[in-house]
Structure 1
């Protein structure tokens, strides 16, 4: 199964401020993001999950939390570790699972990812949550598509 990180980040790697995006909404980015993850399970942290309850993404939500959790949503599953989250995604028959945040979840999964699909938002923003740095020796920029206000980049892990 392929693990893919999907995130929107500013030029200075900011992904959030006070639980929100620090830049004005970019509808075109939101549309491509939602379309990409719609039919696959997503892996996300509890706070990110709770912030999306009104419009949950993906075909199933694998919610990372250190404490026991139960959910009122039939598509939500609890996981305590990267291994447990990937096992759940695989048990759902997924070919791809998308890691969608927040910051601590991106950090946990960074060394396990096969691809990163990053919306690089124009400009630098103040924030309290950042996308993790990555070693450009371990990754290759596979494609780059410019849009108004952001550039969509797809990175693939370089095989040794």
Structure 2
């Protein structure tokens, strides 16, 4: 049985994007993302994929699109729905990660066993916001706290949230 995980970074006001891009450059946070997802399938929507148009190395990359003739770079696997993406991913690993965008976070949340949520210590004006998920029945633990430095403009905290 596979475990569905959501992983995202958000500002204190739940902003996750500006003009189709992350509103911050946080190498330390990206290192956490890489460490947690390495070796596991990552599922993303077409727009999230188009933000970088490359394969995340060391992971099965699945892009969801309804465009039948969509062209992606070599190494990207296409799925027509979240359900189809889950089926592809289950063949590869016990852990599956949904990495964006907002629609797929919302759709996958009811299936999620764990959520890795990075809270960036900033209020950002953007055009993409993640919903306020109800974690009241979830167990939460802090995985990392990082202060701002010369390479990371904002500090952040990484939480692991588990159902139950």
Q: Same fold (TM over 0.5)?
A: yes
Q: What is the CA RMSD across the aligned residues, in angstroms?
A: 1.8
Residue 124 of structure 1: how far off its partner (Å): 0.9
The CA distance in 1 between the partners of 2:120 and 2:15, in whole Å, is: 10
* Residues 102-122 of structure 1 deviation map (CA, whole Å, 9 limit, x = unaligned): 111111111111101111100
The answer to whether the Cα contact below 8 Å between 2:7 and 2:98 also exists between their aligned partners in 1 is yes
Gaps of 5+ in 1: none
The CA distance in 2 between the partners of 1:74 and 1:55, in whole Å, is: 8
In structure 2, the partner of 1:86 is 86
In structure 2, the partner of 1:132 is 131
Instruction: Give the TM-score normalised by the residue count of structure 1.
Output: 0.88
Aligned counterparts, 1:1-160, within 5 A: 1-23=2-24, 25-54=25-54, 56-91=56-91, 93-148=92-147, 149-158=155-164
Residue 85 of structure 1: how far off its partner (Å): 1.1
Residue 58 of structure 1: how far off its partner (Å): 4.9
The answer to whether the Cα contact below 8 Å between 1:110 and 1:132 also exists between their aligned partners in 2 is no
Gaps of 5+ in 2: 148-154
Equivalent residues, number: 156
